[in-house]
Structure 1
Amino acid sequence: MDSKDKAEKIAQAKKKLKEYQSKRESGSNKNEPQPETIKSDSPENSGTQPEPPPPSSTTQQLSTLESLYQLSTRINSIVKDENIPVATDNSNGSSLVKDLELRNQELVSAFDTEKLKNEELSLKVRDLNSTVDKLKIEIERLKVENETKLTMEIGPLQEQLQSHIQTIGLLVGEKTELKTYLKEYQNSVEAKRTENLELETRLRASRFRVNELERELKNLKCASQTTNIEGQNANLICKTQELDELKKQNDEFLEQVNEMKQKLVLKNDEIKKLHSDIDQITSQLNMANLRNEQLTSGDTLVSDTRLESLTQQNLAKDLQISELKNMIQQLGSERDQNSAQYQSYVLQLNREISNLGDKNLNLTEENDKLAKREADLVKHIGELEKQIQQQIAKQRDVEAKNTSNDEKTKDLEKLKEMESLVTNLQEKVSKYESELNETKMQLESQSHEKVQLKSRLDETMDQINSMQLTIERLQSDKPDSGKIIAEIENYKVAASRAMTQNADLKSQLEEMQRVFVQLSNDKLELTEKLQSEQHLCREMRNTYSTIESDLEKTKEHLRLKDEEMIRLAHETTDLNKQILLKDQELDRLRHYEASSDTGNILQRELESAKDFIEKQKQKIQELEQQINASGRVETVETPDESTSELSTIEEGRYAAENEELVHEVETLQTEKQELLKEINELKSKSQVKPQSEIEIKSADSTMTMSIDKSLPLTEALEKLQARFRQTMNQMAELSEEKQNLEHLVTQLQFETETIGEYITLYQNQRRQLKQKDLERDNQLRKLAIDRENMRQKLLELNVLIEQLLIEKKRNRPLSVSSESGEPQTVLTNGNSSPNTSLNNSNEEDSVSSSTLEIKTLVDKTSKMKSKETASKILELLSDIQTANQTSLDQPGVDHCSCCSGKLEVV
């Protein structure tokens, strides 16, 4: 603005010079010098020079002196401006001179008056300067008094300020501690929320699993029904085929029996024919009967030993069966006891779980209330921080504006207000501390309840362990007990986490029990069907026994025929005696006549006996072949196809029977060979002369003895058959008991399969829980990292707050020194004279401007530093608030049972 004013004034001066030059050119006087114009212009320039700016820090006296000086300079310029046209216009005429003289006189008079006024004013100025000096002395005295008073008053105020600053620092420290406590409680609340979310996710996963299991059960029911129906149909088809085969075999057996009957008829005819031949050979079989008696005595001993061994084996098997029955009864009773104990334990667990759920709901509600309170407290603390910051800013403004006593009084009032605010803040902080203490007490009570619940859970786990030990003792005799024990140990780990699923599992167990009852009913139906088929098999056995009875009847017929043979043999012996008597008489007569013809006759008889014996050998071989074939058919006809073990047992039984029959046939063959030997001996003897009558009588007696001793053989066979029947009945009973045991074994296998399915379920749930534990560990790691970051930020906050306080303490003495420096300049300026003040005004202005610039720079640097620290503090607070908001505003995400990791909200 000053440069513009100067330019305008210079332009006006140039215009006046041009007008004046034009006037001089038009006039006659061309010899007048132009320096006067320049001189005339110089006052204008001096008048148009920019006035020095009054200093803002000087007193009112300097302003009055400067105004007087300006008035004098303007008057001189006006006088000079008016003298120039007088000098220039002298050439125009006397009229103008007169006018100018008049004007000069007026101006002189005015000038005199002005001089008088100036003198008066100078006197007044001197008086005023003396008064100003006095006033300055008084002001200095007052300033000294005021400074002493201020130092006396400001000392306690500064102490109070320092105490307030210390209290504010303590409050800030307490605030940080409270924030840390709040963060800890928030973390605990977040952990509880995560636990609740995990429990909800587990419940949903378990419900989903239950639905899947229900579907699988329905599918399994349908599939099991279809498979059972198909299996039953297949069994019926197989059994119908077996019945057809058995019917065919029965028809074949009947045909064979008819053929055997026909053969028996033929054999009876042959036997009748052979009676005559046997009568001739009876004399030769006496020695053979004696040997047969010896052999039969040895055979009886062997049979007795076999029977004793069989009886001992039967007794051992009976003992084993009784022991197995007792073991099965004990296992059943223990299983029933364990099931009852498990059901009672499950009921207790369900009750405890319901109680825990109610307590968990109450705890969640209390946590929500506490979270709301904490949010309100955080908001209130933020508002208090804002108020404190505003007050600090106001204090700064007040410190910058405090330049007079009035402002100091205002500062005192503001300090009092600050004290009242600090007291209010302290009261509020005490209230918040009391509320925090209450919350702490509530949390401690909740933690105590949690400890009690954990103790209860530990007791329940101990009970579970005891139950599992009993189960391990029960299952120690079963196969694969090591695997089951390992799975139970794994179940111990999963049981603590799967408490919430016991209710759902209970419903599943009930459904599985219903299904198990249905399956047991189906199995009972199948067992009834099997029993009916076994009854049919027994009927087939009865038919087989009837066939055997028919065979026994045939054997009895043979025995009767043997008796008839014996009777005929007796008759033949009588006839032979008569014939022998007659032959002896004839021999005595013909001894000498036909001594040579007797050898030829005996040879013929021997040859006929050999032919007869060979025919008997062939018949015996045919009988052996038929017996072996019948034994094989009997082994094939064993109708016990229900289980492989029974078939093997019966095959062994029939094999034993066949072995006994073969042994009997072998004994018969040995007897036959012995008979052949005896016949050969008889042949050798027949070549010698006929024996005497004494020998014939002894032969007759031996024949009668052998006939009498052949009767115990039949009785022995009957006893053997009776024992064989007893063993067959015992084997049938054993087979029935074995079937019952197999039925129990199948039931136990089904139960083990169900246990294995439950174990697989628990293993899958354990895997899911392990995945969730891993995710929880990752979250905890992240939370630990966040905690460390928050601690670092809090440490930085404390450091920045300390820096702020130190900078405030440093800025206060600078402001005091600046305020004390200003009156000294005033005093120096006041002691100088007005002329020197006018001359040195520019220098003072430059010094004051430099001092102001230095002050502004210092203030700016201090303000910049304080602003930087304050901005850093605000940034850290905003980061902490954003972290708290993100931690509090995390949505309750429902995790999927199959998913893992973080869920991003879109």
Structure 2
Amino acid sequence: MDSKDKAEKIAQAKKKLKEYQSKRESSSNKNEPQSELIKSDSPVNSGTQPEPPPPSTSTQQLSTLESLYQLSTRINSIVKDENIPVATDNSNGSSLVKDLELRNQELVSAFDTEKLKNEELSLKVRDLNSTVDKLKIEIERLKVENETKLTMEIGPLQEQLQSHIQTIGLLVGEKTELKTYLKEYQNSVEAKRTENLELETRLRASRFRVNELERELKNLKCASQTTNIEGQNANLICKTQELDELKKQNDEFLEQVNEMKQKLVLKNDEIKKLHSDIDQITSQLNMANLRNEQLTSGDTLVSDTRLESLTQQNLAKDLQISELKNMIQQLGSERDQNSAQYQSYVLQLNREISNLGDKNLNLTEENDKLAKREADLVKHIGELEKQIQQQIAKQRDVEAKNASNDEKTKDTEKLKEMESLISNLQEKVTKYESELNETKLQLESQSHEKVQLKSRLDETMEQINSMQLTIERLQSDKPDSGKIIAEIENYKVAASRAMTQNADLKSQLEEMQRVFVQLSNDKLELTEKLQSEQHLCREMRNTYSTIESDLEKKKEHLRLKDEEMIRLAHETTDLNKQILLKDQELDRLRHYEASSDTGNILQRELESAKDFIEKQKLKIQELEQQINASGRVETVETPDESTSELSTIEEGRYAAENEELVHEVETLQTEKQELLKEINELKSKSQVKSTSEIEIKSPDSTMTMSIDKSLPLTEALEKLQARFRQTMNQMAELSEEKQNLEHLVTQLQFETETIGEYITLYQNQRRQLKQKDLERDNQLRKLAIDRENMRQKLLELNVLIEQLLLEKKRNRPLSVSSESGESQPVLTNGNSSPKTSLNNSNEEDSVSSSTLEIKTLVDKTSKMKSKETASKILELLSDIQTANQTSLDQPGVDHCSCCSGKLEVV
């Protein structure tokens, strides 16, 4: 029984050994991949935070070793127990024992090998435990380093957050200030709207008034044209009549000239005869002088009266000379005044020309500025497009990198990307601080961007909150692969959305380009308008120069007429003086008639009057020649046309110029209205754009609220920056264009005002010239009428004088006729001299002595007839004198080209 039990135990031990060997082989095969896994996982766990190795393998090895040790002790005990009965048993038992010993030795050798293997494994386990401890130390060290790095990075971020909070407080304060500015601006806008409404009402009233004035102008033009045509027709009729009369007068004067030539031939023959008689008379005069010396005591009264008359004549001539000097001084002063006025007018024109030149220079400078600005805008748009393309390329590179990276390197790259994002955020925060400082100055001038600033502040607050959340997450949470993959997917979605937003931005850029094209077209239209206005100004200058030349010609023409009028006035004064002298001579004749020697005195005085009449005829012929010469000058200026036709042509020219000026004023007014309409349209467009931008940005803000969790901060900030710059540039451009248009409108208003002033000055000058022309025409007509009256009276005087001569020739004896023939050459000699015979005292003495000798030879029968004719002559002379006195009292001649009214003779 005991042997059986031992055999069974041995069999069980064998089974257990076989099971142990199989288990060992399986455990060895399992431990090799586990060791390899430990070696492969060790660097990964060193980079990250590793976990401790699983304890299952070590516990299994210890349990197998203990079981083997127990088995070996049991087997030794069994062997010891069996050695005692082995000596007493049979030989069969000895063979079994030997087998068992051999088996035991094998087992001991196997056990030793297993021990060695176990020791090696324990050493390996210790090494692995040491490596695990090292890895734990490294992990702790990395944790500490990461914590220190995070604390170092979070410190400045917290400071930046505090600075951002302070800036947000400042921005809130500025927001309140901007609200106040907005309210003020809204109030000013409302006031401007009311002003615009008032201006529109005024414009409507002014347009209505302009239409009424145009109608009145048309009616006045029609009326003035009809009146001008009627007056011109009347003037033509009068001028034709005057021409016919002048032709008749010329024919009569030619006949008279031929008769006078015949008379001159006869008188030259008589003069030759009388020269022989003069010698005889001189001898008689010597005898008479001796008698006069003897009879001086009786003739003192006559000499005293003659001296008194001569002194009176001298005094009268001195007065006339002083009056003429005063007239010359007045004319000189008036000439100086006219020259000063003309110089001032020329200076005004030069100033206006210089002002126009300055305006042209300013306009050219503005055009150059606009061209430079367009070039800068084009460059800026190109740069923006390049930046957008660069951003798209960067996004594509980021996506490619994200797609190519493996799952192993995602964690490390994520950390690096976060660090780069933090650095970029720091840089961008500094950039935004500088940009905020720049935008503060711009926000003061542009109040429409208040809504944009509100949205931007909200977005920055959200971004700061998101940054705080991300920082807290980094501090609290460890990176998980699932979260990282989700974030990468979110970044991909955000990149796709950014692509769509870039497409929207491109569409907006195209719209901006269209707007720039429209603005360039508007600028071209404005430049064309400016060029047309400059062309109109040049035409106005040319018209003004032509008007000035016409005015100068008219001034010269009027000056010639003034000189002719002055000559005629001087000649009339000379005629009046001569008539006064004749009156004095007639008074003397009356005095002689009272002293019974009237016949001879009348004959002498009649002969002197005849000579005077001949002189007057010669003067009249000279005057007619001068008038004809003045008429020729007028005909040379406009050949084959009368003065009436000249006046009609000038009036037509003035009417045409007036119409042109009115048309130019109308065109300027229409251009002004068009510019005002364009300004209003631009204002409405700017308001619509501002509202649309606000409407567009409100959904964008809502979208960014939803997308902000997924989009990266850098892209959101860049987009906000681009939008902000675009809106700022648009508002600046619109404000500058508005200012330029307002400046152009003010310039056009000033130019219209100056044109109106020129028109009023031109019309006033034209009226004055017309009035002066009418006054001069009336004066010329009066002078022509007076000349005809004088001519008729002189003809009557000639007829009466011829009657007297015929009567005296009939009643005289031959001796008287011979003596009268002797007395005539003395008078003719007096006529041949350039001055009158009364001016020479010696000749008057000779005439008085001859008249005293001839008095005894005249018949007393011719006294009655001679008295009748003499009375008629005296009446005619008195009529001529009264007419001349009236002409002197009312001369009707303007010696000054600028003065008007009556001329008073002192």
Q: Which range moved further: 490-499 or 427-436?
A: 490-499
Contact 2:634–2:643 under 8 Å retained in 1: no
Shift of 1:559: 56
Question: How far 1:851 moved relative to its partner?
Answer: 158
Indicate if the aligned counterparts of 1:59 and 1:826 stay in contact, CA closer than 8 A: no
Residue pairs, 1:273-352, within 5 angstroms:
326=326, 330=330, 333-335=333-335, 337-343=337-343, 345-346=345-346, 349-350=349-350
Specify whether residues 144 and 292 from structure 1 end up closer, same or farther in structure 2 by C-alpha distance, changes over 3 A only.
Answer: same
Task: Tell me how far 1:307 sits from its aligned partner.
Answer: 21
Instruction: Report the secondary structure of 2:710's partner residue.
Output: helix
Shift of 1:142: 2.8
Deviates more, 1:813-822 or 1:236-245: 813-822
Instruction: Between 678-687 and 666-675, report the one with greater CA deviation.
Output: 678-687
State the shift of 1:150 in Å.
2.3
In 1: Cα distance, 2:71 partner to 2:841 partner:
17
C-alpha distance in 1, partners of 2:592/2:838?
215
After TM superposition, give the deviation of residue 146 of structure 1 in Å.
Answer: 0.5
| Cα distance in 1, alignment partners of residues 699 and 156 from structure 2 | 164
User: CA separation of 1:685/1:882 partners in 2, compared to 1, >3 Å: closer, same or farther?
Assistant: closer
1:688 CA drift (Å): 139
Per the alignment, in what secondary structure is the counterpart of residue 297 of structure 1?
Answer: coil
Distance, in Å, in 2 between the alignment partners of 1:453 and 1:314 is: 104
**C-alpha deviation, 1:330, in angstroms:** 2.2
- Residues 309-335 of structure 1 show CA distances to partners (whole Å, capped at 9, x for unaligned) of 999999999999987995796267425
Residues 197, 321 of structure 1: alpha-carbon distance in 2 compared, 3 angstrom cutoff: farther
Q: Deviations over 1:108-166 (max 9, x none)?
A: 99999999999999999999999999978864653343011221244346657988999
Deviation at 1:380, TM superposition (A): 3.5
Q: Is the 8 A contact 2:800 2:869 kept in 1?
A: yes
The Cα shift of 1:376 comes to 1.8
State the percentage of identical aligned residues: 98
Helix, strand or coil: the match of 2:479?
A: coil
Q: In the superposition, relative to structure 1, how do residues 871 and 105 fare at CA in structure 2: closer, same or farther (>3 Å)?
A: farther
Kept in 2: contact 1:47–1:74 (CA 8 A): no
- Check 1:133–1:181 CA distance in 2 against 1; reply closer, same or farther (3 A cut): same
User: Is the CA contact (8 Å cut-off) linking 1:189 and 1:367 kept in structure 2?
Assistant: no
Q: After superposition, give the CA deviation of every residue in 1:465-487 in whole Å (9 maximum; x if it has no partner).
A: 99999999999999999999999
Shift of 1:343: 3.7
> Equivalents in 1 of 2:556, 2:142: separation in Å?
166
Deviations 1:172-225 (A, max 9, x none): 999999999999999999999999999999999999999999999999999999
Residue pair 2:797, 2:873 contacting (<8 A) in 1 also: yes
Q: What are the superposed Cα offsets for residues 423-455 of structure 1, whole Å, 9 maximum, x if unpaired?
A: 999999999999999999999999999999999
Q: 1:189 to 1:380 in 2, by over 3 A?
A: farther
**Unaligned stretches of 5+ residues in structure 2:** none
Structure 2 CA distance, aligned partners of 1:10 and 1:846?
214
Q: Classify the secondary structure of the residue corresponding to 2:654.
A: helix
When residues 357 and 387 of structure 1 are mapped into structure 2, their CA distance, relative to the original with a 3 A threshold, is same
Pair 1:330–1:15, CA change in 2 (3 A): farther
Q: Deviation per CA, 1:35-54: give whole Å up to 9, x if none.
A: 99999999999999999999
Cα offset for 1:92? 51
Q: Is the 8 A contact 1:797 1:876 kept in 2?
A: yes
Partner of 1:25: 25
Q: Which moved more, 1:154-163 or 1:686-695?
A: 686-695
Inter-CA distance 33–238: structure 2 relative to 1 (3 Å threshold): closer
Task: Quote how far apart the aligned CAs of 1:337 are.
Answer: 3.4
TM-fit CA distance, 1:350: 2.3
For 1:514 and 1:72, the matched residues in 2 are separated by 101
1: CA distance between counterparts of 2:575 and 2:826?
192
Classify the secondary structure of the residue corresponding to 1:32: helix
**1:823 to 1:212, Cα distance in 2 relative to 1, 3 A:** closer
Contact 1:537/1:640, CA 8 A, preserved across alignment: no
Closer/same/farther in 2, CA of residues 168 and 156 from structure 1, 3 Å limit: same
Determine if contact 2:494/2:710 at 8 Å carries over to the other structure. no
In 2, the alpha carbon distance for the partners of 1:834 and 1:625 equals 19
Please give the secondary structure, in 2, of the residue aligned with 1:296. coil
Corresponding residue of 2:874: 874
Pair 1:15–1:310, CA change in 2 (3 A): farther
- Specify the alignment match of 1:593 in structure 2: 593
Question: Aligned partners of 2:370, 2:376: CA distance in 1, in Å?
Answer: 10
**Alignment CA distance shift 1:298-1:749 (3 Å):** farther
| Residues 1:458 and 1:650: Cα distance change in structure 2 (over 3 Å) | farther
TM-score, L = length of structure 2 = 0.18
Deviations 1:57-82 (A, max 9, x none): 99999999999999999999999999
Deviation at 1:361, TM superposition (A): 2.1
SS of the counterpart of 1:29? helix
Which range is displaced more, 294-303 or 801-810?
801-810
Identify which range, 827-836 or 121-130, moves more after superposition: 827-836
Q: Is the 8 A contact 1:286 1:703 kept in 2?
A: no
Provide the C-alpha distance between the structure 2 equivalents of 1:280 and 1:822, rounded to a whole number of angstroms.
10
* Deviates most, 95-104 or 127-136: 95-104
**2:811·2:862 contact (CA, 8 Å) conserved in 1?**
yes
Distance change in 2, residues 1:711/1:35 (3 Å) = closer
528-537 or 217-226: which moved more? 528-537
Aligned-pair CA distance for 1:364: 2.5
Please provide the CA RMSD for this pair: 66.8
In structure 2, do the counterparts of structure 1 residues 768 and 748 end up closer, same or farther at CA, with 3 Å as the change threshold?
A: same
How far did residue 357 of structure 1 move? 0.9
User: What SS does structure 1 have at the residue aligned with 2:708?
Assistant: helix
Cα distance change on mapping 1:731 and 1:710 into 2, 3 Å: same
Q: Is the 8 A contact 1:288 1:674 kept in 2?
A: no
Given that 2:600 and 2:854 are in contact with CA atoms closer than 8 Å, whether structure 1 keeps it comes out as no
Contact 1:29/1:91 (8 A) holds in 2: no
2:641 alignment partner, SS class: coil
The separation in 1 between residues aligned to 2:58 and 2:839, in whole angstroms, is 15
CA distance in 1, matches of 2:741, 2:351: 40
Return closer, same or farther for 1:802/1:730 CA change in 2, 3 Å cut-off: same
Partner SS state of residue 689, structure 1: helix
In structure 2, relative to structure 1, the CA distance for the partners of 1:886 and 1:526 (3 Å cut) is: same
> Take 1:187 and 1:208, find their aligned partners in 2: how far apart are those partners?
31
Stretch deviating more after TM superposition (469-478 or 655-664)? 469-478
Q: 1: distance between equivalents of 2:348 and 2:711?
A: 80
* Superimposed CA distance per residue, residues 79-121 of structure 1 (whole angstroms, 9 cap, x where no aligned partner): 9999999999999999999999999999999999999999999
Which residue pairs with 2:248 in the alignment?
248
Contact 2:804 2:866 in 1 (8 A): yes
Q: Which moved more, 1:695-704 or 1:737-746?
A: 695-704
Structure 2 CA distance for partners of 1:782 and 1:729, relative to 1, 3 Å: same
Asked if structure 1 preserves the Cα contact closer than 8 Å seen for 2:274 and 2:825, the reply is: no
Could you say if the C-alpha distance between residues 493 and 93 of structure 1 is closer, same or farther in structure 2, counting changes exceeding 3 Å?
closer
The answer on whether the counterparts of 1:800 and 1:873 sit within 8 Å (CA) in structure 2 is yes
Count of residue pairs the alignment pairs up: 906
Q: 1:850 to 1:150 in 2, by over 3 A?
A: farther
CA distance in 1, matches of 2:78, 2:819: 44
Paired with 2:884 and 2:263, the residues of 1 have a C-alpha distance of 112
> Which stretch shows the higher mean deviation, 471-480 or 775-784?
471-480
Higher mean displacement: 20-29 or 470-479: 470-479
The aligned runs of 1:376-415 (5 Å cut-off) are 376=376, 380=380
- Distance in 2 of aligned mates of 1:516 and 1:260: 94
- Does the CA-based 8 Å contact 1:800-1:869 persist in structure 2? yes
Change beyond 3 A, Cα 1:589–1:553: same
Distance 1:334 1:354, change over 3 A: same
What is the CA distance between 1:820 and its match in structure 2?
Answer: 158
CA distance in 2, matches of 1:836, 1:97: 207
Structure 1: gaps spanning 5 or more residues: none
Query: What CA deviation, in whole Å up to 9, does each residue of 1:644-699 have, x standing for no partner?
Result: 99999999999999999999999999999999999999999999999999999999
Q: 1:215 to 1:814 in 2, by over 3 A?
A: same
Q: Distance in 1 between matches of 2:401 and 2:33?
A: 60
2-side partners of 1:716 and 1:121: how far apart?
59
* Distance across 2 between alignment mates of 1:37 and 1:777: 134
* Greater mean deviation of Cα atoms: 350-359 or 577-586: 577-586
Change (3 A) 1:132 1:361: same
Partner SS for 1:501 = helix
Distance, in Å, in 2 between the alignment partners of 1:143 and 1:860 is 172
Segment of structure 1 superposing worse, 346-355 or 850-859:
850-859
* C-alpha contact (below 8 Å) 1:494/1:766 kept by paired residues: no
Name the stretch that deviates more: 614-623 or 239-248. Answer: 614-623
Alpha-carbon contact 2:790-2:880 (below 8 Å) kept: yes
- Assess if the C-alpha contact under 8 Å between 1:197 and 1:892 holds in 2: no
Give the alignment's TM-score, normalised by structure 1: 0.18
